[in-house]
Amino acid sequence: MGKTLKPEFFERKTLVVARGLLGKVLVRKNGKKIIRQVITETEAYVGPHDLACHSSRGRTARCEPMFDEAGTIYVYFTYGMHWMLNIVTEEKDFPAAVLIRGTDQVSGPARLTKALNIDKKLNGQKLGKKSGLWIEQASEAIEARKLRIIRTPRIGVAYAKEGWANKPYRFILKP
Q: What digits encode the pLDDT tens for the residues 93-152?
A: 999 999 999 999 999 999 999 999 999 999 999 999 999 999 999 865 555 456 789 999
- The answer to whether the CB of 88 falls within 8 A of the CB of 71 is yes
Residues with Cβ < 8 Å from 28, sequence gap 6 or more?
A: 34, 35, 116, 117, 118, 132, 133
Which percentage of the chain shows pLDDT scores above 70?
Answer: 95
Q: Please report, for the chain, the start and end positions of each structural domain, with discontinuous segments joined by +.
A: 7-174
Q: What is the DSSP letter of 54?
A: G
- The answer to whether the CB of 97 falls within 8 A of the CB of 73 is no
- The answer to whether the CB of 128 falls within 8 A of the CB of 136 is no
Distances from the Cα of 10 to the Cα of 7, 21, 141, 165, angstroms: 5, 9, 23, 24
CA 162 to chain CA mean position, Å: 24
Whole-number Å distance between alpha carbons of 139 and 134: 15
* Residue 36 CB burial class (10 angstroms; 0-12, 13-18, ≥19): middle
- The answer to whether the CB of 2 falls within 8 A of the CB of 138 is yes
What is the CATH T-level fold of the domain 7-174, as seen in this structure?
A: 3-methyladenine DNA Glycosylase; Chain A (3.10.300)
What pLDDT does 133 receive? 98
What pLDDT does 142 receive? 57
pLDDT class for 3, splitting at 50, 70, 90?
Answer: very high
Mean pLDDT of 16-37: 96
pLDDT class for 59, splitting at 50, 70, 90?
Answer: confident
Q: What is the DSSP letter of 15?
A: H
Mean pLDDT of the chain: 91
In the predicted model, is pLDDT for residue 43 greater than 60? Answer: yes
What pLDDT does 143 receive? 52
What pLDDT does 144 receive? 45
In the predicted model, is pLDDT for residue 79 greater than 80? Answer: no
